Amino acid sequence: MISLDEIVNEHYDELNENDLYIWQYILHHKEECQKMSIQELSYACNVSHTSIIRFTKKIGLDGYSELKVCLKWDLKKKLHFNHHVMNDVSDELKQTLVYMQNTDLDNILKLIDESRCIFVVASGEVQRNTAQELKREFAYMKKIFYVIEGETELDTVLRNVSKDDAFILISLSGDNETIVTLAKVLKTMKIPIIGIAKGNKNLLSSYVDEYISFASTHFDIGFQGRSYCCMGHFFLIVNMLFLRYLEYCSMKDNI
């Protein structure tokens, strides 16, 4: 029997925003979800129980009962650490390095260079550390990045932001509800947005003006059903983005 992750990936393009929120919750709470009633899961996801049923149908299951069977199967599987992971992760990091080195980033670099203020919002601990690293590195070139930490601060910024400013939104999945909602708001305000997230099949990529993606595969660590995803891509992207910005400024000065 294939895993629930594989089942969802096969039907990913058929899923809407609600479906993706449901899946993100299930993905990160498999053990809890396996014990939940459909009403409890719908409450946790802030959707109706019919939305849960529609989600199960879209991924080819008969209903909620079969979803719970899939979860039970996933949790029962004996996990083993795949020793090919080291090569796979190394290859993915190299791909990110090559992407950041060779991709045309002129629109992003120009936006960073010409924006009055650059605000950074991140979801998750590593992503917030990435935001702080962006702020630290670009300070060397006297480009000040404002890392927004809370909702009150964000509300204040949104009341005063202009089209001369820009936002950088950082998310691992690209489907984080807070980040995607903010992207939608900024898009209606016509504020330039740069998105950074894993892969291209996510909601964030649909709402931003410029997008930096990377490939990082989740894999089982062989312990208590836990999975791992290399987050070093975020810091590699920051390092290379800063180097590309130095290159951009140098070429601009020589024109």
Q: DSSP of 186-198, one letter per residue?
A: HHHTT--EEEEEE
Architecture of domain 4-76: Orthogonal Bundle (1.10)
Residues of the chain with CATH 1.10.10.10: 4-76
User: Is the CATH code 3.40.50.10490 the one for domain 85-253?
Assistant: yes
Angle of helix 232-253 relative to helix 106-114, nearest 10 degrees?
A: 70
pLDDT of residue 228: 75
C-alpha count within 13 angstroms, C-beta hemisphere, residue 150: 2
Best mean pLDDT range from 150-154, 193-197, 226-230: 193-197
Reported as a single tens digit per residue, the pLDDT across 90-109 is 999 999 999 999 999 999 99
The DSSP result for 110-128, as a single string, is HHHHH-S-EEEEE-SHHHH
- Which phi and psi angles does 123 have, rounded to 5°? -110, 125
Reported as a single tens digit per residue, the pLDDT across 102-149 is 999 999 999 999 999 999 999 988 999 999 999 999 999 999 999 998
